[in-house]
Structure 1
C-alpha cells in the first residue's frame, strides 16, 4: 500500500478512536454513575471536562508540530490519549474520571489537527480530496457507532472496557505512526505565544463549556451566561492581541484568504446543524419513540454506510462540478436531510427512516470533504500548521453551538406546551431549526468564484484562467 494511502488511513484510525470514545461515554454514564455511587447529572462533568481540555490545547498543536516535528507530536498525542484511557478505566470516583478525561482531551487536541497536518503536507493537492475523505468518515461514523457500542459493552461486559479497548488500537497506531508517518517540521522556529495561549485557551474553554452546558443541564443558567460572557471577553482580548503579535497562536490573517474564509464561515454554519443531529436523534428514538439505546444506535448506524460510500464518490464529483457547484447544491440537499427527521413519528416505517439516514449520511460526508479540501486549497506549507489549528478550533465551537441550539429548542418547545417531559412533537422544531442553520450555509458558498480550489478538485473550464488567490493577495499588498 503506497504511503499516500497508508498515512491517511493511520491518521483516520487515530481520529476514529478519539471520535468513538467521545460518544461511547454518553451511553455508559448511567452505569458508571451507579457503579461509583454518583449522580448521573453531576457525572456529565466528565463530558464537559473533555471538551474544555480540547478547547485549551488545540491552539497549541500547530506550534508544537512545527517545533518538535509532526511525527513526534502525533505519537505523543496517541500516548497521552492512551494514558487518559487507562486512567479512566481505573477511576473509582467522579474526580478521578474528570482528571482522566482532561488527560484524554490533551491527547485528542493534538491528534486531530496534527494528524490532518501530516496529510496536508505529504499528499499532493491534486490528491487531497481523496485523502481528506478518509478523515471525514471517523467524524461521522464515531458518533453513530458510539451509542450502540457503548450500550453493548455496558450491557454485556463492564463499562471500564469502553476505555480499555483503546489500548490495542492505540498501540497499533503508535507502531504504524513510527514506521510510516514522516517527520515533518518547519525549518523556521517562532517564539511560543504565551499570552495568546492563555487568552485563547480561557476564552474557548469558557465559551465551549458554557454553550455545551445548555444541552447537559449541569450548571444554573446564571453560571452558563457568566461562562459565555467570560469567553466572549477573552476572545475579544485575544483579537486585539493577535493584531499586534508577530506570531499569534491562532493566525487571524488566514481569513484574508477567500477560500479559507468561506470554508470556515460556511462550514461552521453547516456544522451547527450536523453537530446537533447525533445529540437529537438518540434522544428522539429513545425518549420520543421508546427504543432502547442499542436499538437506537443500530438505527442511526446506517448513516455511517452513506459516509463510507462517499469516499469513492467525492473526487469524481468535485472534479466534474467543482467546489462552488457542489457546495451550493449539496448544502441545500444536506440541510433537507438534516431537517428530515422532523417528519419522523413512532409510526414511521423503519425502512423509510433507514433510507433517509443512509442518503443523508452520504450528502453530509460529501459536504464535509468538500469544505475541508476547499479550506486548504490556497494555503502554503508555511502556514499549514496554523490553518489546521484554526480549523479545528472553529469546528469544535460550531459543533458545541449545534448541541446548544438543539437542546434549547427542545426545552422551549416543551415549555411552550406546558409539559415536563419530552414528546415526539418537540423534536420537530429542533430538527427544522438546525436544518435551517445548515441551509443558510449555501448563501456563504455563493461568494465562491467558479474556479475556486481548482488545483485541488481538478475541475477546469475550457478557456478559463485559474488565478491563485494567495498570489493575488500578495500582489495587492
Structure 2
C-alpha cells in the first residue's frame, strides 16, 4: 500500500504531467486570437507550439545527469518554479518574439518536471507499489490532449488567450508548496562529468526530428526542406547512438535496453504513444470537416476518450495483479487498433451513441496500455540504473507523443492520394493508425509470460531478463 507521502507525491507529479501536456496542445485552438493580439499571422503562432516541444525533447535527456549532480528534490523544485514563472511571462508577452522566448523557458521547466518528479516518487518505492504509482501519474497526462481543444476554445471565447497560461500560476504555486514539504535528499556521490559530445549529438538529433515533424504537420512542407532536416536527424541520432554505447559515462545510458521488459516498454510504448497522440488530432477534424459538426459537439464526443480513461483507471492495478502485463498489453493494443480502425467506418449517419461508445473503448484501451507500458518499464530495472532508465524512457515517450500529429498528417495525406473523397481519406488514415497499433501487439506477443511479475502483488520477484549477459553495471548510484 502507498503511504500518504507516496500518494501525495504521485498526485503532485500527475498534476505536473497534466500541465506539461496541456501546454503542448492547448495553444493551437487560440492561434487566430493570438495572431491578432500579437500583430502576426496564425501560421507564425505555430512556432509557439514547436519551440515548446523542441525544448522538451532536447532537454529531457539531461534530467538524469542534473539529478545526479544537484539532487532530485532541488531540480524538481527549480523545474516547477521555472515553468510557473515562464507561464506568467507567456501571459504577459506583447510580441511574438517575447512569447517564443518565454515558451522556450517554459519548455525547459517542463522537461525537468515530469521525469525528475517520477524519479522522486519511484526512488525507494516497493516493487509492488509501482503499478499504483504509475496509474496515478499516467492518466492526467492522457486527459490533456483530449481536454485541450474544448478548454482552449472556452478560454479564448469567454476570456482571452492569456488565460491559457495564467491557469498554470495557481497550479504551479500549489505544486511548489507541496514539493517543498518533500524530504530534502541531495546527491550521495560525485557524478561523472557531463557527456558533452553526447549532449551535442543527442540534442541536435532530437531537435531536428521534432522540427521535421513540425514541417510535416504544421506547414505542410514535405519536400527538400523537411527531407534535409529529417536526414540530419537520422545522421545525428545514429552518431549519438554509436557514441552513447561506447563512452563510459553516457548522457543517456542505452545499455539499460538490455533488460527485456524495459526494452519492450520503450519500443512498443513509443508506437502506442504515437497512435495515442494522433487520434485526438484526427477525430475533431473528421467530425467538423466531414460530418459538419460544430466545435462544441465535436469536443463533447471526443471527451468520451477521457471517460474511457477514467473508467478503466480503478481497475488497472487489480487487472495487472490478476492477469499480468503480457495479456493486458495484448488486450490494450488490439483494443486500441480495433477502436481506431473502427473510426474508419463512422459516417454522419452513425448513431451518436455508437460513435461515443467506440471513442470510449479507445480511451479505455489507451489508458490501460500506457499504464502497463509505464509500469513494466521499471519492473525489472536494478535500483542503481533507475535514473538512467527513467531519462531514456521519458525522452522516447515525449518524442513519440510529439510525433503523433505528424504521423496522423502523413497518414491523412496518403489517404488523400489514394482516394477521391475526404471521408475515404480519413478512413485510410484511421486504418493505417490501427495497423501501427497492431505493430505494438507483435512486441507484446514476444514478451515472456512472467514479464513484470516483480511488481505484481503476490508474485515472487524475478531477475531481470537481458539480451545475453547480466546488465552492465553503471557508475552512477541512485540517491
TM category, shorter = over 0.9
**Pair 1:218–1:57, CA change in 2 (3 A):** farther
CA offsets 1:330-375 (integer angstroms, 9 cap, x no match): 2111221122221222222222222222222112111101111111
CA offsets 1:193-234 (integer angstroms, 9 cap, x no match): 111111100110101210232111165622111111111111
**Pair 1:213–1:241, CA change in 2 (3 A):** same
CA contact (8 A) 1:328 1:445 kept: yes
- Within 5 A, what are the aligned runs for 1:106-255? 106-180=108-182, 183=185, 185-217=187-219, 219=221, 221-255=223-257
State the match for 1:449 in structure 2: 448
CA offsets 1:382-422 (integer angstroms, 9 cap, x no match): 21111111111111222233322210121233344567xxx
Deviation (angstroms), 1:143: 0.6
- From 1, 4, 10, the counterpart of 1:8: 10
Partners of 1:133 and 1:268 lie apart in 2 by 18
State the match for 2:55 in structure 1: 53
Secondary structure at the aligned position of 2:449 is classed as coil
Deviation (angstroms), 1:188: 4.6
CA contact (8 A) 1:130 1:311 kept: no
Q: Which runs of 5+ in 2 are unaligned?
A: 474-479
State the match for 2:477 in structure 1: none
- From 363, 368, 393, the counterpart of 1:391: 393
CA contact (8 A) 1:327 1:445 kept: yes
CA contact (8 A) 2:12 2:178 kept: yes
State the match for 1:301 in structure 2: 303
CA contact (8 A) 1:337 1:357 kept: yes
- From 452, 470, 473, the counterpart of 1:474: 470
CA offsets 1:19-55 (integer angstroms, 9 cap, x no match): 1222211111121112222111122111111111111
Deviation (angstroms), 1:80: 1.2
Query: How large is the RMSD of aligned CA atoms in angstroms?
Result: 2.1
CA contact (8 A) 2:252 2:392 kept: yes
Query: Which 10-residue stretch deviates more, 152-161 or 218-227?
Result: 218-227
CA contact (8 A) 1:27 1:150 kept: yes
CA contact (8 A) 2:259 2:464 kept: no
Partners of 1:439 and 1:415 lie apart in 2 by 23
Query: Which 10-residue stretch deviates more, 150-159 or 444-453?
Result: 444-453
Give the TM-score normalised by the residue count of structure 2: 0.93
**Pair 1:302–1:470, CA change in 2 (3 A):** same
- From 32, 35, 40, the counterpart of 2:34: 32
Q: Which runs of 5+ in 1 are unaligned?
A: none
**Pair 1:465–1:126, CA change in 2 (3 A):** closer
Partners of 1:26 and 1:476 lie apart in 2 by 44
**Pair 1:424–1:221, CA change in 2 (3 A):** same
CA offsets 1:44-88 (integer angstroms, 9 cap, x no match): 111111111111101101111121111111111111111221121
Partners of 2:252 and 2:145 lie apart in 1 by 28
State the match for 1:436 in structure 2: 435
Deviation (angstroms), 1:10: 0.7
Secondary structure at the aligned position of 2:44 is classed as helix
CA contact (8 A) 1:55 1:396 kept: yes
Partners of 1:413 and 1:166 lie apart in 2 by 38
Asked if 1:268 is matched to 2:270, the reply is yes
CA contact (8 A) 2:14 2:141 kept: no
The alignment of Structure 1 onto Structure 2 pairs a total of residues equal to: 471
**Pair 1:161–1:235, CA change in 2 (3 A):** same
**Pair 1:263–1:182, CA change in 2 (3 A):** farther
Partners of 1:78 and 1:466 lie apart in 2 by 37
Secondary structure at the aligned position of 1:424 is classed as helix
State the match for 1:317 in structure 2: 319
Give the TM-score normalised by the residue count of structure 1: 0.93
CA contact (8 A) 1:84 1:103 kept: yes
Partners of 2:190 and 2:262 lie apart in 1 by 23
Asked if 1:411 is matched to 2:413, the reply is yes
Partners of 1:223 and 1:256 lie apart in 2 by 36
**Pair 1:313–1:188, CA change in 2 (3 A):** farther
